[in-house]
């Protein structure tokens, strides 16, 4: 939590001069009422820098309103909206959703001076002042997001107290301490039945953090459902409690309505608290709580995707066992084990001709994960094409397979037409397993598979970018010799300019595919 300081001391302000102008001594409400600035004397004040065009602001404002509505009846808190909107109509529409006061939109000079005084570099931004005008914190957004009304009175001492409470709760963790909140001591089933949290004590519990409209969660739910059904059929003491992060009740009800497991109520305050408590960083997340109430694993979603019911009971011993199984699989990996699935034993060439995977055995094969909508992919394609043609001219025991993340068949066809190599058919079910196997979370990605079928490197894209065709055959021994012989020294200034240029190019044209975000030279899953 950062305090605004001036000259090494905590900043303090005269509220009257801070919020007034020479020709204005009042603030406004969204109904047009005027409130004298001097009526705020002695109150705690939140200066809320925000704007209607700002997506994060739109999402944060309802959270702040909930906190304000609960605290304002005490009479010691007021929030002042300082708008960054560009026209009065936008300001008025946005301000109409706010229960607090605002600097009049017409007083742009005061709004600008407050931006400068509090060094507002991004919005939403929330500065809290105490009753004397002394700055308590300029991290109000983070505090309200994390602690809500519990963060009041927003002092450093209060935040330390809350953090100490969290640490103590983790040390004494139980299913009850995790899931019970205030007067609610139950979770709910899909038919609306209230199930006491006490019934979960002594069981292994999976906390399933999910967003029903998020594609990764939509894909993962059937896998988890299968695991849940199999463990129940075996009589295992295992339960799943969904932690819904949805905003839309209809979407949640539609997704949860047929589920056999339990859930926290939608929009329950505990949901956001658990996001912070378990330091959630990705979706889906499946946290495992052991029979003793302690956290066994912070996220087993990826393991469940890969191993299914075999991942149970999610203990360190089971993970060690799975790691050994995985090691043996990798040692015995072949091109067929990677690329053949059921009757899908082929890739395609130009004009859609089927090429048996068997024809590629014994060759060095590159797996190229890419898409036309991805600017970094389009930038890399000419570099890869040049390297491919040079390698093929010298050694025919080499091939490359395009694995598409394009939006539709037409986009795939248009992009693939620019390529001289092979491909998986568009929409092929094997793409999902390849993504999972090689943990592909960004494109372009280039995986090198050696003649024996073993993985040589997952960094072939960087190697091609740096060495071109000379990176072949991508073996550890060859790359060591290559690095030693070339002794490449990058000039920092030139490298920064290249990175900047690449970033600018990545911004030009092309819209990222759904569920992806392009950042510089890589497009990542959102």
- Fold equal for 15-157 and 175-325: yes
Instruction: Show me where the domains of the chain are located.
Output: 15-157, 175-325, 335-477
CA pair distance 417, 371, nearest whole angstrom? 12
Which residue in this structure is represented by tokens 């605290």?
A: 71
Helices 476-486, 460-467: axis angle to 10 degrees equals: 30
Tokens of residue 129, six digits = 């002042």
Whether 269 and 148 have beta carbons less than 8 Å apart is answered as: yes
Question: In this predicted structure, what is the pLDDT of residue 517?
Answer: 61
User: 414 preceded by cis ω (within 30°)?
Assistant: no
Segment (H or E) for 88: helix 88-95
pLDDT attached to residue 330: 80
CATH classification of 175-325, choosing from 3.20.20.70, 3.40.30.10, 3.40.50.720, 3.20.20.150? 3.40.30.10
Architecture label for domain 15-157: 3-Layer(aba) Sandwich (3.40)
The predicted-structure confidence for 27-57, as pLDDT tens digits, reads as follows 999 999 999 999 999 999 999 999 999 989 9
**What does DSSP assign to residue 35?**
E
| Cα–Cα nearest to 285, from 326, 242, 222, 239 | 242
Which residues of the chain are modeled with pLDDT < 70? 1-10, 486-526
Strands annotated E in 51-156: 77-83, 101-102, 125-129, 135-137
- How far is the C-alpha of 35 from the C-alpha of 30, rounded, in Å? 11
- Return d(Cα 208, Cα 228) in angstroms, integer: 12
Architecture of the 335-477 domain: 3-Layer(aba) Sandwich (3.40)
pLDDT in the model for residue 496 = 55
CB atoms within 10 A of CB 479: 18
Structure tokens at 205: 């519990």
pTM exceeds cut of 0.75: no
pLDDT the model gives residue 77: 93
């Amino acid at each position: 939590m950062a305090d605004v300081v001036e000259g090494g001391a905590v900043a303090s302000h005269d509220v009257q001069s801070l919020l007034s102008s020479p020709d204005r001594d009042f603030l406004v409400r969204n109904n047009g009422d005027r409130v004298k600035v001097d009526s705020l004397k002695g109150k705690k004040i939140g200066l809320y820098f925000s704007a209607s065009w700002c997506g994060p602001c739109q999402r944060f404002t309802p959270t702040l309103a909930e906190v304000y509505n609960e605290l304002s009846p005490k009479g010691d808190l007021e929030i002042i909206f300082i708008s960054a909107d560009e026209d009065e109509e936008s300001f008025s529409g946005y301000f109409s959703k706010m229960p607090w006061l605002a600097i009049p939109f017409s007083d742009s000079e005061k709004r600008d001076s407050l931006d400068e005084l509090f060094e507002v570099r991004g919005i939403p931004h929330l500065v809290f002042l105490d009753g004397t005008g002394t700055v308590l914190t300029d991290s109000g957004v983070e505090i309200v997001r994390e602690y809500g009304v519990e963060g009041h009175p927003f002092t450093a001492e209060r935040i330390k107290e809350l953090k100490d409470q969290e640490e103590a709760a983790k040390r004494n963790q139980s299913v009850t301490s995790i899931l019970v909140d205030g007067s609610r001591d139950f979770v709910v089933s899909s038919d609306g039945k209230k199930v006491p949290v006490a019934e979960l004590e002594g069981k292994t519990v999976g906390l399933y953090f999910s967003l029903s409209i998020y594609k990764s969660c939509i894909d993962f739910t059937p896998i988890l459902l299968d695991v849940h059904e199999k463990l129940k059929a075996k009589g295992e003491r295992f339960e799943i409690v969904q932690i819904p992060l949805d905003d839309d009740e209809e979407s949640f009800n539609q997704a949860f309505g047929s589920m056999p497991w339990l859930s926290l109520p939608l929009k329950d305050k505990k949901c956001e608290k658990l996001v912070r408590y378990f330091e959630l960083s990705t979706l889906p997340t499946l946290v495992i709580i052991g029979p003793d109430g302690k956290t066994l694993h912070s996220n087993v979603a990826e393991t469940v995707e890969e191993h299914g019911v075999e991942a149970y009971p999610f203990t360190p011993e089971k993970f060690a066992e799975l790691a050994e199984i995985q090691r043996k699989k990798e040692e015995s990996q072949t091109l067929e084990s990677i690329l053949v699935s059921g009757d899908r034993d082929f890739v395609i060439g130009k004009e859609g001709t089927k090429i048996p995977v068997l024809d590629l055995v014994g060759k060095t094969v590159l797996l190229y994960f890419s898409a036309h909508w991805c600017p970094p992919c389009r930038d890399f394609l000419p570099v890869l094409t040049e390297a491919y043609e040079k390698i093929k001219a010298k050694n025919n025991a080499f091939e490359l397979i395009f694995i598409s993340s394009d939006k539709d068949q037409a986009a795939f066809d248009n992009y693939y037409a620019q390529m001289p190599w092979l491909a998986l058919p568009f929409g092929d079910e094997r793409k999902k397993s390849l993504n999972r196997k090689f943990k592909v979370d960004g494109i372009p990605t280039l995986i090198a598979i050696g003649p024996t079928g073993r993985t040589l490197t997952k960094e072939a894209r960087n190697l091609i970018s740096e060495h071109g065709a000379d990176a072949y055959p991508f073996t550890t021994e060859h790359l060591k010799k290559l690095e030693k012989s070339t002794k490449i020294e990058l000039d920092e200034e030139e490298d920064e300019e290249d990175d900047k240029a690449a970033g600018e190019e990545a911004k030009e044209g092309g819209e990222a595919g759904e569920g992806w975000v392009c950042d510089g030279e890589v497009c990542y899953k959102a």
